[in-house]
Structure 1
Amino acid sequence: MSVYSKFSDQELTVLLKQGDRLAFTEAYSRYWAEMYYHAFRLLKDEENAKDVVQDIFSNLWLKSASLNLEAKLSGHLYIAVRNKVFNLIAQKKVRNDYLNSVAAFFSDTVNDASLLDEKEILAIVEAEIQNLPPKMKEIFELSRKENLSHREIAEKLNISDQTVKKQVQNALKILKPKIRALEAGLFVLLFMR
């Protein structure tokens, strides 16, 4: 049993501000399960809940020097999880709204496929990649354009393999319907020539 396990939240916070790794380890082991449960209860998704908690603890370590000594550590973590979950939900709503509008656009584009040529289609696909959220775009481009493995990307960006995998999957979920619509347009173009 570590001596750190006897420390209060406030004592751990003071040590975290000083960059004490053992204090971080104690905070992680003390609150990981509780924060995971909180995130899972809000998201109802195991992988997303794990990603949220991982991000929260990463930020706790990276920004430990700026921790508020007045706030209780568990309260700080609960608020961070809640805010991260709300941001994730908002991003999903924006992404879904965006996908619906893009799907409508591509539906119209496929119906008017004679106006498109192959270069325009490639430009549209590249534009869609550029419209991905910044971190997702960076990971996707490292995976698909630079042909890096998930492990290589994780090491390069200092994130977990699982986060890389999830970001690539999410990017593909966004791009695949658009590419299918473009493929249909390209097929019509080639057929009409």
Structure 2
Amino acid sequence: MDPIEIELCTDGELMDLIRKENRSAFNELYKRHWSGLLDVAFKRLKDEDIAEELVQEVFLNLYLKRETLTITTTIAAYLHTVLKYKVLDEIRARLVRNNYREEWLNRPPLLAADAHTLLEKKELSDLIVSLADQLAPKCKEVFLLRHQQQLSNKMIAERLKIAEKTVEGHISTARKTLKNLLKDYPSDFLSILLCLALLK
């Protein structure tokens, strides 16, 4: 089937072709629904990088499950439903991170001054810095300015002469990379690390 015929297919017909590993059909379905899904995700999350990542995951899951997937609604409705749950998961994760952040920032002064606690914090900080070597050069530079010098996104953007949105993207990438590198650590420990690294 040539590209022109692919463009004339319904979503259902494209899905049938995708089950037969027709990449042109997958690309066409992706092209039809990508921008609409991205718009929905961005409006809810206000983070373009994470919105793009979630939409990519929606299509990746569709392709990986293509042979066994049963869709009882329209393809569009199915894609939006999958995206909705991914967005909700991200919102829940944000709430957890924010709760840990508030708990960390609002800890009693005596605890903040405790030598043992400060030593633990320094050790955790050293671990975070060592993990930064796994980041891409520009992402690492942004990350270290945020972590070590505690600069705001705006200040980092001005220093590096890049858009503030680009800084936000690097911070998002750094957070996701750290989470992946530390996935075998206890969840509480991971949350504290992320607070120390990126949520000051």
TM-score of the alignment, normalized to the shorter chain, above 0.5: yes
Partner of 1:50: 52
Partner of 1:144: 132
* Aligned with 2:172 (options 166, 170, 173): 166
Equivalences for residues 32-51 of structure 1 within 5 A: 32-51=34-53
Partner of 1:63: 65
Listed one character per residue, the Cα deviations across residues 37-70 of structure 1 (whole Å, up to 9, x for unaligned) are: 2212222333332222122222222222232143
Paired residues of 2:45 and 2:87 also in contact (CA < 8 A): yes
Q: How does the TM-score come out when normalised to structure 1?
A: 0.63
Aligned mates of 2:171, 2:93 — CA distance in 1: 18
Aligned mates of 2:57, 2:86 — CA distance in 1: 9
Partner of 2:150: none
Aligned mates of 2:6, 2:108 — CA distance in 1: 58
Note closer, same or farther for the CA distance 1:18–1:165 as it changes in structure 2 (3 Å cut): farther
Note closer, same or farther for the CA distance 1:14–1:94 as it changes in structure 2 (3 Å cut): same
Shift, 1:177, TM fit:
6.6
- Say whether residues 1:84 and 2:72 are aligned partners: no
Shift, 1:77, TM fit:
0.6
Listed one character per residue, the Cα deviations across residues 51-103 of structure 1 (whole Å, up to 9, x for unaligned) are: 22122222222222232143321111110111111111111011101121233
Partner of 1:101: 103
Q: How many residues align?
A: 154
More displaced 10-residue stretch of structure 1: 39-48 or 69-78: 39-48
Note closer, same or farther for the CA distance 1:109–1:22 as it changes in structure 2 (3 Å cut): same
Note closer, same or farther for the CA distance 1:12–1:109 as it changes in structure 2 (3 Å cut): same
Note closer, same or farther for the CA distance 1:83–1:107 as it changes in structure 2 (3 Å cut): farther
Listed one character per residue, the Cα deviations across residues 136-190 of structure 1 (whole Å, up to 9, x for unaligned) are: xxxx97x525x45379xxxxxxxxxx98762305669732378x8xxxxxxxxxx
Aligned mates of 1:63, 1:164 — CA distance in 2: 31
The residue matched to 2:89 in structure 1 has which SS? Answer: helix
**Structure 2: gaps spanning 5 or more residues:** 139-167, 179-192
Q: More relative contact order in 1 or in 2 (CA 8 Å, sep 6+)?
A: 1
Partner of 2:197: 176
Paired residues of 2:100 and 2:195 also in contact (CA < 8 A): no
Over aligned residues, Cα RMSD in angstroms? 3.5
Listed one character per residue, the Cα deviations across residues 90-126 of structure 1 (whole Å, up to 9, x for unaligned) are: 110111011212333485432223x4574x3445447
Aligned mates of 2:92, 2:36 — CA distance in 1: 23
- Percent identity (aligned): 27
More displaced 10-residue stretch of structure 1: 27-36 or 6-15: 6-15
**Structure 1: gaps spanning 5 or more residues:** 130-139, 152-161, 181-193
